Amino acid sequence: MTNQTVQLKIVLPQKMLPVQSCAKIVVPASLGRMTIIPDRAPTTLLLNNGVVEVLTEDNSVKSSYFIKGGVANIAADECVVMTEQALSLKEATLEKVQALKEEHLAELLDLSKSFPQAQDKKDSETEFYDNLIKYLNNKK
C-alpha cells in the first residue's frame, strides 16, 4: 500500500462536512455494511439509511454519522459519500433527534400547503428520523 489512510468526504446538497483521514470507513451499502480501506479498487455503491463509521487502525470508532441513503464513490484512497442528510452521532440524543424531526415535519407541513409534492418529502423525512430513533434506542 502506498498510503495507510483513506479520506472521507461527506457531501450534502447545501455543504460538505470536514474531510477526515482514517484507517477505514464502514458504509451502509445496499447489499450490507462494507468496509473501505486504503488502495481499494474503484467502485460506486448505493447506500441505505444507516451509519457511516470512521475507524482507527485498531478498529475503534473515531466518529460516526447517520446518513439518509445516497451514493458512495470510492477510488484509491478516497471515499465520497453523497447524501441528502447526515447527522453526527456524537451529538445525537433521542431528545435532540425528536425535536429535529418535529421541526422538519412542521416545516414540510407548511410547505405542502403551497406545494403538494412536499408530502413525498415528508414521508422520506419521517422514515429517516424513525430509522435514526430506532438506531439510538438499540444503542442503549
Residues 63 and 103 both lie in one domain:
no
* Interatomic CA distance for residues 31 and 44, integer angstroms: 12
Neighbouring CB atoms inside 10 A of 69's CB total: 19
Which position has the grid cell 410547505?
111
Query: In this predicted model, what pLDDT tens digit does every residue of 8-51 receive, in sequence order?
Result: 999 999 999 999 999 999 999 999 999 999 988 899 999 999 99
Query: In this predicted model, what pLDDT tens digit does every residue of 64-118 receive, in sequence order?
Result: 999 999 999 999 899 999 999 999 998 888 888 888 888 878 887 787 778 777 7
Residues 84 and 100 both lie in one domain:
no
At residue 76, the pLDDT reads 82
Report the predicted TM-score, pTM, of the whole model to 2 decimal places: 0.82
Q: Alpha carbon 82 to chain centroid distance?
A: 8
At residue 1, the pLDDT reads 42
Residues 57 and 103 both lie in one domain:
no
46 vs 119, which has greater pLDDT?
46
Extended beta strands in the chain, E state: 6-11, 20-22, 24-29, 32-36, 40-47, 50-55, 61-67, 70-76, 78-82, 86-88
Look at residues 66, 88, 110 and tell me which one is the last residue of a structural domain: 88
Q: What range defines the domain where residue 104 resides?
A: 94-139
